[in-house]
Amino acid sequence: MTHTPHIAVLGSANMDLVTYVARAPQRGETVTGREFRTLPGGKGANQAVAAARAGATVSLIGAVGTDSYGTQLRCALAQSGVDTDLLRTVETQSGTAHIVVDDKGGNAIVVIPGANGTVDALSAGDEALIASADALLLQLEVPVDGVLAAARAARGHGVRTILTPAPAQPLPDALLAATDLLLPNEYEATTLTGVFDDPRAAALALLSHVPEVVVTLGSRGSLYAARGAEPVTVPARETTAVDTTGAGDTFAGALAVALAEGRPMADALHWASAAAAVSVERPGASASMPYRKEIDARANGPAQGPAS
């Protein structure tokens, strides 16, 4: 790596309260879990950690509360090499995510925003940080007003914006207009377009709003579409999933680093896929995210993942 990219992230920091069960309960049903863990998470913090472990210099713009979770989140980010100078502490509870993980590695999540709900505007320091970055990572666990302000600041300074539209919701035209690369999963692509069971058609529809789209397809890889080019599918690395929480954020962070290093899109997608494959083999969100040497080893190794 000849250039160490600088990635700015504006987004959420949550404490993940994770319950592991054989299967998730149905409505009105009680099941017995086998384990409970408290782990740092939040889509903003997750993408920041993923990018930092993948080799970038990373700064997180966001907010935590005055509770013990806020202190723990700040410490966990610092331990992963994320700059938290612009992570504010506000007089409220920190964000939390209540997660159920089943034996197949699937998950269901309820997010309570807490302090993340205050990230609705930029300070002068926030804008200066964005202006100095090679790329800006955005998600939707903070108010859309804050996301839009950050995207506009990035656009004004020629900084590439990468938006993960999660949690899935309709997006303002102004935000799409300030987005360079949209990174939805299949469900989010459907929510944005109304196109069901056809990621290629959904991606093509999204190109009327943004210049580039990557739709993540889980174990089937990812689909890349850009204006004026034929969509391309990049296969996933084979793996044995233990916990898929944070896999999409791992992919986003690694992809941002690879693109900021100047890699071609296909190479960047293969590398991000390798990062995601490693992450799902371990429990937790940010705790499961691989370091650069692990990503390189998986990306350069045989396609077959660990035996099940």
Rounded to whole angstroms, the Cα distance separating 113 from 116 reads 5
CB 206 within 8 A of CB 181: no
User: How is 9-49 classified by DSSP, letter by letter?
Assistant: EE---EEEEEEE-SSPPPTT-----SEEEEEEE-HHHHHHH
CA distances in angstroms from 172 to 117, 119, 180, 201, listed in the order given: 18, 17, 15, 21
Distance CA 99, CA 41 (A): 11
| Catalytic residue status for 173 | no
Among candidate residues 257, 47, 250, the one with its CA nearest the CA of residue 134: 257
Options 83, 180, 243, 249, the catalytic residue: 249
Residues annotated catalytic, as ranges: 249
